[in-house]
Amino acid sequence: MDTVKVSKFIDCDSQKAIELSMNPEILAEEMPGVKSVKILKKKEKKGFIMQTVAWDGVLEAGPIKKDLSWVEEDSWDVKKRKCQFTQIEGSFKVYNGIWTFEDVENGCESSISLEYDAGVPLVGPLIDKLIKKVVIENLEALLSALEKVAKDS
C-alpha cells in the first residue's frame, strides 16, 4: 500500500472547480489511460452530494499492463470544498482518498491525496516505483484535465 499527493493551480475559483470536478465524464475525455467513466447514482444527503462512479482504465507500468475497473463512492462537501472517495468494488485492494479545493490568489489550489494498492501480486521495489509513477501521472492528468476544462468553460 502506498500514498501519493499531487496539487495544481487551477485558474478559477474553488466553487467552479468543484462543480466541474463533479462531472468526471467530462474530465475523463482529457485523460489517457481512462477508457470510460460513468456516474451511476447521484443524490443529495444531509448537505453532501453523493455520487457513485464507475471507472474503467488501464495501468501500464514497465512490463505490467493491467486493466482496472472500479466503482467509487464520492462524498462531496461543497461547503468545506472537498470530496472524500473510496472504492466500493473493483480491481484495487485499497483505493481511497480526499480531493480538496482551496481558494488562492487568482484561482484555486486543487490537491488529491490517494492511498492505494493496485493489487499486483509479487511486486518488487522496481515495479512498485513504476506503479507509483503511473498513479501520480494519472492524478496529474486528472488535475490537468480540470485545468483545461476550467479554461475552456
Residues 14-32 pLDDT 10s: 999 999 999 999 999 888 8
pLDDT bucket at 118, cuts 50 / 70 / 90: confident
Express each pLDDT in 34-71 by its tens digit: 999 999 999 998 889 999 999 999 887 777 788 889 99
Residue 81 has phi, psi (to 5 degrees) of 55, 55
Q: What would the pLDDT profile of 86-116 be if each residue is shown by its tens digit? A: 999 998 999 999 999 999 999 999 999 999 9
- Name residues whose C-beta falls within 8 Å of residue 122's C-beta, 6 or more positions apart in sequence: none
What's the pLDDT score for residue 134?
Answer: 86
- Give whole-number Cα distances, 6 to 66, 101, 136, 138, 144, in Å: 23, 12, 7, 10, 11
Q: Which residues of 135-144 are buried (b: 16+ CB within 10 A; e: fewer)?
A: beebbebbbe
Identify the pLDDT of residue 61: 72
- Structural domain harbouring 57: 2-82+97-152
For residue 61, being part of any structural domain is answered with yes
Q: Taking 80 as the threshold, does the pLDDT of residue 124 lie above it?
A: no
pLDDT at site 100? 98
Whether residue 62 contacts residue 74, with contact meaning beta carbons closer than 8 Å, is answered with no
Name the β-bridge partners of 41. Answer: 52
Q: How many structural domains are present in the chain?
A: 1
pLDDT of res. 123: 61
DSSP letter at 33 equals T
Domain presence at residue 91: no
CATH code, 62 = 3.30.530.20
Q: Is residue 89 part of a domain?
A: no
Task: Specify the pLDDT at position 30.
Answer: 85
- Does 49 map to a domain? yes
